[in-house]
Structure 1
Amino acid sequence: MKTFVTYFHKRKEEKKMIVVKHVVVAEIPLLEMVESDIDHQKLPTVLFYHGWGSCKESAMVNGYELAKQGFRAVLPEAYLHGERKEGTLNEEAYMEFWQVVAHSIEEFPTLTDYYISKGLTDPNRIGVTGLSMGGITTCALLTQYPSIKTAVCLMGSPAPVLFSRWLLNSSWAEGLNIDEANYQAELEQLKPIDLSLQPEKIAGRYLHFWHGTADNTVPYQPTLDFYERVINEQPEAAKHVSFTSTKGAGHKVPYESSVEMATFFAKRL
């Protein structure tokens, strides 16, 4: 483990220091951000998942906002990204997108078990969040792990099957040689992690969505449609689901939305 940078911020009129640590858990590199004076305490912990083609360092502003709220923020490096990169990610790597998401889902308990075993994470106060691919991962994790108490999806999708179909009909996929049989088989594999197909798995947990209305990378409307459907058709399971948007915003999370995300966890985790 290596502590390599610190940030300062003020809270309650006191100067606090946030430490940023580089940690490797079972060959998974991550950044951990936490206030120095509570570093060794058992804390509510939030995992933040970065987007496609990015890296854990790109998510540090989000980790910083979470740490300011007294959380232990854990920023994993996604499979095939950053320190785990094995080559160049490009459009031909479409089929690898869901492999990356699958790795994050599989690795989630490895990371949480590590921090719980060290006495650093409260097992009853674990949250997940992420942007774009990380938002997709966040929603998928809710289908698999009831231990997650609170989640925030930033410009992601709760419907990987629908999103995958949209991708293959978008300009992004032009020129790709997709085998139809393999593609249909992949759609079947996505169904178990598709929150839109099993919204009852929200199970009354706190779940917040933010999405820009002009997002052309992960479309805004399907996520809004999901939100409106679940609060009407699954009122008990979705009683704590909320949604905000930024008019005209594209595929980029504004700083204000990162603050909103951290504030949501402060109130709901």
Structure 2
Amino acid sequence: MIEVYDRVIDGIPLLEVVDSALKDEKLPTVVFYHGWTNVKESVLVHGFEIAKKGFRTLLPEALYHGARNDGIPLTDERLLDFWTIIQESVDEYPVLMDYYIKAGLTDPNRLGVTGLSMGGITTCALLATYPEIKVGDCLMGSPDAVGFTQQVLAEAEKQGMVLPDDINEQLQELEALSLAENPEKIAGRPVHFWHGTKDETVPYAPTFDFYQRIQDEEFAKQVSFSTTEDGHKVPYTISQETASFFRNNL
């Protein structure tokens, strides 16, 4: 039976989803990151599907979201916090892994990451940062940290947002987290992208263009891409596809 445990690890709230018969064993572990303005509970269906394949699945709460909200609504006015949130998730990833590995609950040689929307962007940033991650699956996210941010901020500026004077310097700092800027960091790992063609929130074309650009490279020999005619929402069939991807590659 799949069970859900509400945990707080070093101040990081998360849900742990695992088969109760396996919960005390050293398991391959997948971390699933939720999207902008969502909460960890909103991605439980994905956690269940992955856990059903024999994985320990961790669903962390992103900074300023859910149990970590600071009382300020996550409106478009907080878009400048977007990368602060992702950077916090990147910094917290080894904290979570250190806890579970030392507890004998996670196999350090079988680590995977995935997420949707902001969580998919986080997934790409993690792949660009931690070579010990073996497998990644980006759901309607973007591997292009700089390009995506430029697009979002341009739209926000049209709506009247005043950007900081040092915005270009801030964008340069994102290059280290960008697979588009550093595609060789994929380093032959199995990485899958799913994106709906009708997505207007995180556009489909730049992600597919990235895939086409790298697919013949040696470092991208295990990169794959699938698509459906969906907007900015992950269908249940893609939740199942994600779980199967980890079962087959991790």
For Structure 1 versus Structure 2, the TM-score category normalised by the shorter chain is over 0.9
Q: Tell me how far 1:172 sits from its aligned partner.
A: 8.4
Per the alignment, residue 235 of structure 2 pairs with 254
Could you say what secondary structure the match of 1:157 adopts?
coil
Per the alignment, residue 241 of structure 1 pairs with 223
**Structure (1 or 2) with the greater strand fraction:** 1
Per the alignment, residue 149 of structure 1 pairs with 134
The whole-number CA distance in structure 1 between the counterparts of 2:102 and 2:160 is 48
Structure number with larger C-alpha Rg: 1
Query: Conserved in 2, the CA contact under 8 Å of 1:161 and 1:191?
Result: yes
Higher RCO structure (Cα 8 Å, ≥6 apart): 2
Q: Tell me how far 1:170 sits from its aligned partner.
A: 2.7
The whole-number CA distance in structure 1 between the counterparts of 2:157 and 2:25 is 46
TM-score using structure 1 length: 0.91
Evaluate the alpha carbon distance shift between residue 166 and residue 267 of structure 1 in structure 2; reply closer, same or farther with a 3 A threshold: same
Could you say what secondary structure the match of 2:45 adopts?
helix
Could you say what secondary structure the match of 2:98 adopts?
helix
Find out whether 1:74 has 2:58 as its counterpart.
yes
Matches within 5 A, 1:91-170: 91-170=76-155
Query: Conserved in 1, the CA contact under 8 Å of 2:142 and 2:207?
Result: yes
The whole-number CA distance in structure 2 between the counterparts of 1:257 and 1:172 is 34
The whole-number CA distance in structure 1 between the counterparts of 2:94 and 2:144 is 22
Structure 1 unmatched ranges of 5 or more = 1-16
CA RMSD of aligned residues (A): 1.0
Residue-by-residue CA offset, 1:205-253 (whole Å, 9 max, x unaligned): 0000000001010010000000000113xx2100000000002x10000
Query: Conserved in 2, the CA contact under 8 Å of 1:156 and 1:218?
Result: yes
TM-score using structure 2 length: 0.98
Matches within 5 A, 1:1-269: 17-86=1-70, 87-170=72-155, 174-179=159-164, 181-232=165-216, 235-247=217-229, 249-269=230-250
Query: Conserved in 2, the CA contact under 8 Å of 1:202 and 1:237?
Result: yes
Count the aligned residue pairs: 249
Structure 2 unmatched ranges of 5 or more = none
What one-letter code is carried by the residue in structure 2 that aligns with 1:237? F
Query: Conserved in 1, the CA contact under 8 Å of 2:157 and 2:163?
Result: no
Could you say what secondary structure the match of 2:21 adopts?
helix
Q: Tell me how far 1:171 sits from its aligned partner.
A: 6.2
What one-letter code is carried by the residue in structure 2 that aligns with 1:264? F
